[in-house]
Structure 1
């Protein structure tokens, strides 16, 4: 069974050549990879340079990396005055190295810190293409890669300075080698390069986000071993060489952080962050089992409908080793995260390449078969859903900023037209025929949403507006405190020395001497601030008020600026 699958899926060059002449992808082979990369850039680049830092996670990672660059401490990440131990060091190192390579230091703009995520997303898609070619043939591999690249969740993660896109690249690298080992002919060894890729990607993944990718690989292996009742193929991974490689990547920092911070990192990262998310819904992100499945149909748009349409083919081919590998990749990992209490859509992202591969293989495998009405309606529904959703972008801009943008409206009309075209193609020819329209629609949605609409929603980005308001202070470079808004974007835009606290603390801070001080006080902290100021015999004067949306909790917020001037001390300010 495995040798037949290898011939038909991974090595069947003659079969693929016949299929290409008999109705393969219309794009010439030499143009497919360049066009795929251009498509990825069209999906990932809009907004990368223009969207301000986003609360909550991106701002935390980006600010910690900037403080690492400013302090020169590359062992202990910090956010403001606190240590940042929720995740390991890997992403901070990658972001800091990128900034240094481009000539930036502690004031690096957020787009620089987003470049590792952009690279990770592109690598993940190209790795999915490589796996697809090996498992199912070139055409299915390109379809899978395009679906992953077009997915809404990856287009978001590619432009956020956080862990998940680069973790996905590591996960795909690990699974690529696992696929090669699993489908290899009996006795066929892996070369040294794939072995080093497997263990190296595993080590980097641990440094980026801890046990997630090892969990993915372990569940995949366990499912395959249980299903096949054979484990001999695992020896080709050469753990005697690989385990020391992973240890060499991971252990130096673990030892360094232990020497500097004791067990604090392990207590926070494992005890509070990891195990806490398993037991309870942290930061109001709890949801019942099944929430990830429901989110999939939005997060994997436009490919989710096509994946559902390919399900009958997957079922009939479930005993095929290449299909079995993808099922072992996706299903156990997905089940684990459905059972975890805390749920965010990106938690199941490492399983998405497997679903994209199954979708690509199913679409290509069913290309000569009439599509059932339900599959055509699903694909058509994805196209119409994108068309309807496109008008949410200009609508949101009007609701938040009372502004109609002609470019956003024109793009919404284009997306609607592509949706109508895709709907007709789906009904007449099936999901595969609708695929080009859906991919063009996805790229247009990325341009409209991230390139045009989001950068113009000023009220959603309070940090830059607070920084602009601070320029009205009657003294340069005042010490700053913010009461009632403690998101990391405050530190990113106002400086790492910015104090965070409540209204009473803001009044104390404003009354303290020496030097010029400024406080932003939220409306919820205003009464406390005023009462404490009265106790101190102060009568602070408001300079201006900034009103917007705290996007971390989706709540409107007003922050009033108060300033106190004093005689600056001699010498540096403590």
Structure 2
């Protein structure tokens, strides 16, 4: 076996080990709320109901995002069971896709960026820097749409960039794959799946004088592939729910981007701090790659190095700038820029240390320190939402309730509990819904009543008034969940406390089931 094959095999084992560590970490904590509980439950409900077209939250159409995450989670749960690890496998697979993209792109670009270095060693370093970051080890197993769309945005940019770097005529096959990656990004999180990679490539072509190549893309076949992948679901759902386009693209994307009043408002510099945490400690070496700096006898090599450097600069600057404009900011929005940052960090390391004898040991030590940091933060992260979770009530409710029973919720919504209990029926959420329509902000209540607007008949069954509680308390097989911060009142009459959890309390109706009645537990019960 040649030295090159041995080096690639070594790299393969290292990257497989990092991805395996990610999968282990993904099994060590309960679902965080609200995001992980919400999205895992949407996938579970899709699998349970058999309706793979319409995502649903608590039985109601849920159109905050397109369905790719939910499809993949439902498929994962069909294979590996309805558990948190199966839900987290989907973002973990996309984190692995980003890791592979960083490695392959860095290996292909190393001869231009670092001609004195081994291409394999350079690519392995870039992949290790990404693979030991908090973005990969923690963000890569968090159940939401961020890692999924980040992976497809990064993949699309790499594919289009390599298509244009191929020569005067772009590589048609890579370009077509780029169109497909954009389509999957749109199915993952909406318009940013095509706007961001399209914007990065467009400004890069202008900045490097390659704009004359744009007409030579395989536009007809590429757009046909894009439409074939991205368009059918939107057309089908718009026919079923005529308000879908205005809600998904208008409210959840355009108005959320341009208007205030949404959660997670942060100052403009938020993403600088976020990237420092997400890419710690490797962000430091990015600054040593601030200039192309390649000295080569080949003008073409120097030009290519400059083009690649400029691509990374535009990639990071455009996406960070794009998400810094709205007031609402979330850490996961900037995950797509980790790919070019890993490439630049590897380049900065090469320029700082080159072939110095102690550099591999220092790199290994920093990798181990970064992994240790992720391992320490993993259990600590569960404390952030433990005072909101209802996970500790799941076994009691799942084993005591029957599939025909009704679960009422007063004063909030326990995002994680339906997933762990595996109830076949939606919870009945009790609120003064007309009043909440006038006062609710960007919260759980708005999610539910806006979802109910798409199916008023279903909403009438699962979004009710607290006035139903006295009658429910007189019937067997009725359950009530109430958060501890909800004030006491007449609602308690007729309800028997079963368990007081950390954040929620579980009650049952006073009448017991007949002793002779056969009791079938919910599927979440593990006796």
Q: TM-score range by the shorter chain?
A: 0.7 to 0.9
The verdict on how the C-alpha distance between 1:349 and 1:485 changes in structure 2, with shifts beyond 3 A counting, is same
2:116 alignment counterpart: none
Contact kept in structure 2, 1:337 and 1:343, CA below 8 Å: yes
**Distance in 1 (alpha carbons) for counterparts of 2:84 and 2:399:** 24
Q: Whole-Å Cα distance in 2 between the matches of residues 127 and 369 of structure 1?
A: 25
Q: Where does 1:435-450 land on structure 2 (aligned, <5 Å)?
A: 435-450=363-378
Aligned to 2:392: 465
Q: Assess if the C-alpha contact under 8 Å between 1:181 and 1:233 holds in 2.
A: no
Equivalent residue for 1:497? 426
Quickly say closer, same or farther: Cα 1:233–1:185, change in 2 above 3 A: same
Which whole-Å deviations, capped at 9, do the CAs of 1:105-131 have from their partners, x for residues lacking one? Answer: xxx112112222111111111111111
Residue 321 of structure 2 corresponds to residue 335 of structure 1: yes
**Residues 48/202 of structure 1: CA separation in 2 closer, same or farther (3 Å cut):** same
Partners in 2 of 1:474 and 1:356 — Cα distance? 50
The aligned length equals 467
Question: What's the CA shift for 1:309?
Answer: 4.3
Pairwise CA distance, 1:539: 4.6
| Separation of aligned partners in 2, 1:475 and 1:268 | 36
What residue number does 1:68 align with?
46
Check the 8 A contact 1:223/1:328 in 2, yes or no: yes
* Structure-1 separation of matches of 2:399 and 2:87: 29
Give the structure 2 partner of residue 221 of structure 1.
Answer: 201
Partner-residue secondary structure (3-state), 2:92: helix
Task: Write out per-residue CA displacement over residues 420-452 of structure 1, whole angstroms, 9 at most, x where no aligned residue.
Answer: xxxxx9xxx67x7632111112223333443x6
Q: Deviations over 1:7-37 (max 9, x none)?
A: xxxxxxxxxx9xx9xxxx9x94441222222
CA deviations on 1:384-441 (whole Å, 9 max, x unpaired) are xxxxxxxxxxxxxxxxxxxxxxxxxxxxxxxxxxxxxxxxx9xxx67x7632111112
SS of the residue 2:176 aligns to: helix
Whether contact under 8 Å (2:133, 2:371) holds in the other structure is no
How far off its partner does 1:502 sit? 4.5
SS for the counterpart of 1:542 is strand
What residue number does 2:115 align with? none
1:279, distance to aligned residue in structure 2 (A): 2.7
Query: Match of 1:81?
Result: 59
Match of residue 160 from structure 2: 178
1:165 aligned residue: 147
3-state SS of the aligned residue for 1:320? helix
Question: Residues 355-378 of structure 1, C-alpha deviation per residue, up to 9 Å, x if partnerless?
Answer: 1111112211333499xxxxxxxx
Question: Paired residue for 1:379?
Answer: none
Q: Equivalent of 1:119, from 74, 93, 116?
A: 93
Is the CA contact 1:314–1:358 (under 8 Å) kept in the aligned structure 2?
Answer: no
Within the candidate set 207, 214, 217, 1:234 is matched to 214
User: Given the superposition, is the C-alpha separation of residues 184 and 248 from structure 1 closer, same or farther in structure 2, using an over 3 Å criterion?
Assistant: same
Distance 1:476 1:272 in 2: 36
Q: 1:471 offset after TM fit, Å? A: 6.3
**Contact in 1 for aligned 2:200/2:318 (Cα 8 Å):** yes
The answer as to 2:501 corresponding to 1:559 is: no
Contact 2:163 2:175 in 1 (8 A): no
Quote the residue 2:495 is aligned against.
Answer: 540
- Worse overlay, 204-213 or 471-480: 471-480
Unaligned runs of 5+ in 2: 112-118, 296-301, 433-463, 518-527
Shift of 1:459: 4.3
- 1:90 matched to which residue of 2? 68
2:480 partner SS: strand
1:502-531: CA deviation from partner (whole Å, max 9, x where unpaired): 49955732532543212122233232xx23
SS at match of 2:27: coil
* Secondary structure of residue in 2 paired with 1:284: coil
Q: CA deviation at 1:47?
A: 3.0
> 1:439/1:507 Cα in 2 relative to 1: closer, same or farther (>3 Å)?
farther
- 1:31-430 equivalence runs, <5 A: 31-42=10-21, 44-100=22-78, 102=79, 104=81, 108-137=82-111, 138=119, 139-187=121-169, 189-192=170-173, 194-263=174-243, 265-280=244-259, 283-311=262-290, 320-368=306-354
Report if the CA contact (8 A) 2:45-2:56 is conserved: yes
Q: Distance in 1 between matches of 2:321 and 2:386?
A: 38
Q: What is the aligned-residue RMSD (CA, Å)?
A: 3.5
Please give the TM-score of this superposition, normalised by the length of structure 1.
0.73
Indicate conservation of the 8 Å contact 1:302/1:442, yes or no.
yes
Partner of 1:508: 468
Q: Secondary structure at the match of 2:429?
A: strand
Asked whether the 8 Å contact 1:58–1:161 carries over to 2, the reply is yes
User: What corresponds to 2:449 in structure 1?
Assistant: none
The residue that corresponds to 1:521 in the other structure is 482
The alpha-carbon distance between structure 1 residues 565 and 211, as it changes in their structure 2 partners (threshold 3 A), is same
Change beyond 3 A, Cα 1:148–1:481: same
Q: Residue 328 of structure 1: CA displacement?
A: 1.9
- Residue 284 of structure 1 deviates from its aligned partner by 2.6
For 2:385 and 2:221, locate their aligned partners in 1 and report how far apart those are by CA, in whole Å.
53
CA-CA distance at 1:313 after TM superposition: 6.1
Please give the alpha-carbon distance, in whole angstroms, between the structure 1 residues aligned to 2:166 and 2:402: 70
Question: Scaled by the length of structure 2, what TM-score is found?
Answer: 0.79
Change (3 A) 1:363 1:339: same
Q: After superposition, what is the alpha-carbon deviation per residue over 1:544-564, rounded to whole angstroms, capped at 9, x for unaligned?
A: 3112xxxxxxxxx35353533
Change (3 A) 1:483 1:283: farther
